[in-house]
Structure 1
Amino acid sequence: MDTTVRTEADSADTEEALAAEIRGKRLQHFLKGRRDYLDLSQDDVAERLDITARTYGNWERGTLKEWTDEKLYLLAEALEMSQFQTTRLFLYAVGRAPQPDLRATFHRTEAEDPATSAFLGDYSVMMDALSLPTFVIDQRWDVKMANKAYRDLFRGVRAHPTAMPSTNFLRFGLFHPDAPAVFVDHLKWQLAMLAQLSSSLERHGDDTGLQAIRRDVYLHPPLRDAYLTDMPNWVLGSGADLVHHEGAVRELRHPDAHIGLQGCRLLEETPRSLKALGLTRLTLVLVDLNDGTMPETCRSHDQHAA
């Protein structure tokens, strides 16, 4: 009798171990497939998660034995997963669906309506087909979606705990040490971003994320002075229209040597469906500096610098 019970227990343990092994293989293929689709390296994903590449490699190989909901939600965010994909991630990793009461820890925009969720998934696919860098932000400038061209533009950026371009566009431009390598004549970009911060705070003064950016600006004396003095004078002198996304051509340097130095307009092009979700789509329109479209003030600055 004891032998029979032991045999049945051993069989159950074997089946459970086999099921866990199968889920581990599926998880490995699922994560790698999603990463390949986004054209990200393991280092890229590790930067988004603020962990080492070795640690993420262990996650992808399935050697992590104790998955927490927080880690899974962060992983889903780093790999830009839809709600459906997040559910698959949980099933492969821990054998169950996400717990609804913990879904608030998942920082991506989640749609309760399946039709809206499907729309966002389709919109992300459409954005990836575009050649210009384009991205979707919420009211605090957190990046909710970005296409491959946007990720390519910032592929050389080093890891930073709070100011990655895949996390918040304003924080990257204001605080990341690599921002001047992309945004040429960085002070002009910073003035424009400080104006955007001020404008966003006028509309959403209670937003804690925007307040945190302003607080960090105040902790940097040069930025604080620019925010309190230089930016208001710039807005008054240049015209209020420049506070909006459409406006002056600034310069950026693409890491692809075949593209190199380009003029850039930051244009807003948001469909009503995104606006209804509190989201805004921005596109970095690249302009050839030699085609005559560069404003005279920018050309004069270039000639003076030369």
Structure 2
Amino acid sequence: MNALPEHADAAHSSSTTQTHLLRMRRQRDLLRTHRLLLGLTQEEFAHRNGFSVRAVVDWENAGRITMASLYALRDALRMSPQAFDELFAVVTGAAPSLRSLAVDPDLDRVTARWAAVHVHTQPNPTVLMDGGWHARHYNASWVQIFDQVEPHPTDHPLTNPLRFLMFHPLAPELFPEWEERWLVTAVAQFAMHYALHPTHPALQEMRSKIHEIPLLEDLYAHRARRELAERGVDVIFEGDVDRRPVVVGPDRSEIVLTVLIPWHALDCGYQMMTMSPLDNSTLLPQDADPPGLPRESVHLRPQGPNAPRTPTPPARPRAAASSSAGQEPQGYVERALTVGQLLLWYRTRLLGLSQERLVRATELPVTVRTYGDWERDRRLPQAEYVPIIARAMKMPDGVRYYLHNLVTGADAPVVGTRLSPEVAQRSALWARIHVDGQPAPTAMMDGAWQVVYCNEPFRHLFAHVPAGPANSHPTQNWLRYVLFHSDARETLGEWRESWLAGTMADLVVSLTRQRGALPAEHRAFINDIESDPVLGDVYARSLSQNPSTSAASAPSLGDGDIRTIWIPDPTDPKTRLKRHVCVTVGVPLHGKAKGFCMLTISDRDDAATSLLS
């Protein structure tokens, strides 16, 4: 993160206060609006729902809300899912992670447009999965690479790639170094999803099947537990831009595995996985689509009762139990790593302290008894205690992020806007595949909307844009271009309604998700916006938007939107041509914690067609 300017203490205090006041205002508006819609006074609402009047008054004055109270308020106020996501984001810093594993028809319509741009234009094997790892879309190369796998109702790679990887006997043959290079990440990701949705029938069935296979049970109860305790979400994030071996036909190849998350399904667990060769060539020859396979096919339906079933992988000898977080599990382990087990691991294995010494020696604002209840999983810490716990126990960022996820059910608030140098190197390889390899104009941005990579079609699309206010060219900073550059009003059709309002709402959500002092870039955005009468008015409206609509749960970058742009006519630069475009946005998994995103502007009818042709 950039260094703070002179008088940094004052700037830190001011920017921290800004984000705090923003969250307070949104909490107050949400609670009061929904209570008044019920026609109740504070006293009537409290008595009807078993709350104290003092608690209701405190909540509506932006006082602290515990997770238990949060869900009680959802039911008492009869909040819509969208409104509850808004309140959840204000309290925790983000919308709920994996808020649903069910497929939503409206979501599917946007997903189909998104897949047309990002799945079917990829030359290498690519699959888009939902939160239960069911294949929603895949390209012809994905079909070709698995053409030797016989039909199976649940574990086929065209049905559910994660189930195939874990349960199908062909997986070790197609994925060399199967256990170490593939299974550890897969089992850890399942463990994280299961911790968030332990009552979901499909996940419960997968957990039971893992228990039936000694190797998988050992990985789940020991290795995945240790990896999550030591590295947290990094064990999953590092699966993006990871080099792994695969067998394609008769040959073994080294591929780069990359992951892109659709922006519109950011909180639903969707992810697109691509396997690309290291030399950026195509992994498979690009022949015509296999006979009978639609180009935009959704995953195969379960096979009929007479379809051949692939047997369960043979049981393997259980490996020696690795050191696990906290106490060693006895028999069946429901969840790989609970909050209590994580705290016990760090207190005993890393710090070597008793509960009493830990509480006395750190800034944990709780009694020893309360802390003991955390370790015994009798209650969860409050969300605001997570960073305090992480500092006290010297947890890495990935573990802090994971602890926040376990405590709140939400992704941790964004901190900073930059990647570390080693992650930035991996990011360059990711961009070579998904930015340079995308035929439509595409740019990848960091957490302050600074363009860190863009492809030639993107530069070409905006080649007519003259220099403007500092750092406001679209190849430099997309948000500054939309907000401050005069060309945006000409190039971006219906600029205020289609582009500005959504972009401003996204800025407000980003500010809400920050904790602590704002990055210098975000403070500068606010100062420049408030100095412009038009932008200041839109910003004020975004701050006071109707709380029944959720900018947090319906991301506002316009993912899947059909919009218009006006670009210069190549034959007559003084004339502008109207083009209908599909705007799609994705999040690179490795940059998720820093607010990275990728913007693509493609032809509405054909993502592979140049907008300038």
1:263 aligned residue: 254
Partner secondary structure for residue 270 of structure 1: strand
Counterpart mapping for 1:160-239 below 5 A? 160-188=152-180, 189-235=182-228
Contact kept, 8 Å, 1:199 with 1:243, in 2: the verdict is no
The answer to whether residue 237 in structure 2 is matched with residue 246 in structure 1 is: no
1:153 aligned residue: 145
Query: Which amino acid letter does the alignment assign opposite residue 185 of structure 1?
Result: E
1:78 aligned residue: none
Whole-Å Cα distance in 1 between the matches of residues 146 and 220 of structure 2? 25
Query: Which amino acid letter does the alignment assign opposite residue 214 of structure 1?
Result: R
Query: Which amino acid letter does the alignment assign opposite residue 176 of structure 2?
Result: V
2:604 aligned residue: none
Partner secondary structure for residue 253 of structure 2: strand
Kindly tell me the number of residue pairs found equivalent between the two proteins.
179
2:113 aligned residue: 122
Whole-Å Cα distance in 1 between the matches of residues 268 and 240 of structure 2? 22
Counterpart mapping for 1:270-289 below 5 A? 270-275=261-266, 279-287=270-278
Contact kept, 8 Å, 1:109 with 1:144, in 2: the verdict is no
Q: CA deviation at 1:236?
A: 5.2
Q: CA deviation at 1:173?
A: 0.4
Partner secondary structure for residue 184 of structure 1: coil
2:127 aligned residue: 135
Whole-Å Cα distance in 1 between the matches of residues 106 and 226 of structure 2? 44
Whole-Å Cα distance in 2 between the matches of residues 163 and 142 of structure 1? 10
Instruction: Render the CA deviation track for 1:116-156: whole Å, top value 9, x for unaligned.
Output: 62x43333333222112221111111111111121112111
Whole-Å Cα distance in 2 between the matches of residues 158 and 137 of structure 1? 20
Counterpart mapping for 1:58-97 below 5 A? none
Whole-Å Cα distance in 1 between the matches of residues 273 and 183 of structure 2? 17
Whole-Å Cα distance in 1 between the matches of residues 178 and 187 of structure 2? 12
Whole-Å Cα distance in 1 between the matches of residues 183 and 201 of structure 2? 21
Identity across matched positions, percent: 23
Q: CA deviation at 1:166?
A: 1.1
Whole-Å Cα distance in 2 between the matches of residues 239 and 276 of structure 1? 18
Compared with structure 1, are the counterparts of its residues 240 and 138 closer, same or farther at alpha carbon in structure 2 (3 Å cutoff)? Answer: closer
Whole-Å Cα distance in 2 between the matches of residues 272 and 212 of structure 1? 29
Query: Which amino acid letter does the alignment assign opposite residue 210 of structure 1?
Result: L
Partner secondary structure for residue 105 of structure 2: coil
Contact kept, 8 Å, 1:136 with 1:282, in 2: the verdict is yes
Whole-Å Cα distance in 2 between the matches of residues 160 and 252 of structure 1? 21
Query: Which amino acid letter does the alignment assign opposite residue 257 of structure 2?
Result: L
2:68 aligned residue: none
Counterpart mapping for 1:46-57 below 5 A? none
Instruction: Render the CA deviation track for 1:169-197: whole Å, top value 9, x for unaligned.
Output: 11100111111121111112122211111
Contact kept, 8 Å, 1:134 with 1:284, in 2: the verdict is yes
Of 105, 109, 113, which aligns to 1:111? Answer: 105
Whole-Å Cα distance in 2 between the matches of residues 276 and 238 of structure 1? 22
Contact kept, 8 Å, 1:242 with 1:248, in 2: the verdict is no
Q: CA deviation at 1:276?
A: 6.3
Relative to the length of structure 1, the TM-score reads: 0.51
Whole-Å Cα distance in 2 between the matches of residues 267 and 141 of structure 1? 16
Whole-Å Cα distance in 2 between the matches of residues 278 and 227 of structure 1? 20
Query: Which amino acid letter does the alignment assign opposite residue 260 of structure 2?
Result: E
Contact kept, 8 Å, 1:143 with 1:166, in 2: the verdict is yes
Q: CA deviation at 1:157?
A: 1.2
Partner secondary structure for residue 163 of structure 1: coil
2:394 aligned residue: none
Compared with structure 1, are the counterparts of its residues 278 and 243 closer, same or farther at alpha carbon in structure 2 (3 Å cutoff)? Answer: closer
Q: CA deviation at 1:212?
A: 1.2
Q: CA deviation at 1:279?
A: 2.7
Whole-Å Cα distance in 2 between the matches of residues 276 and 282 of structure 1? 17
Compared with structure 1, are the counterparts of its residues 237 and 285 closer, same or farther at alpha carbon in structure 2 (3 Å cutoff)? Answer: farther
Relative to the length of structure 2, the TM-score reads: 0.27
Compared with structure 1, are the counterparts of its residues 120 and 261 closer, same or farther at alpha carbon in structure 2 (3 Å cutoff)? Answer: same
Whole-Å Cα distance in 2 between the matches of residues 194 and 180 of structure 1? 15
Whole-Å Cα distance in 1 between the matches of residues 155 and 212 of structure 2? 15
Q: CA deviation at 1:215?
A: 0.9
Query: Which amino acid letter does the alignment assign opposite residue 111 of structure 1?
Result: P
Q: Which runs of 4+ in 1 moved over 6 A?
A: none
The answer to whether residue 136 in structure 2 is matched with residue 144 in structure 1 is: yes
Contact kept, 8 Å, 2:259 with 2:274, in 1: the verdict is yes
Q: CA deviation at 1:217?
A: 0.3
Contact kept, 8 Å, 1:264 with 1:287, in 2: the verdict is yes
1:71 aligned residue: none
Contact kept, 8 Å, 1:262 with 1:288, in 2: the verdict is no
Whole-Å Cα distance in 2 between the matches of residues 204 and 191 of structure 1? 20
Counterpart mapping for 1:291-302 below 5 A? none
Q: CA deviation at 1:267?
A: 2.3
Partner secondary structure for residue 120 of structure 1: helix
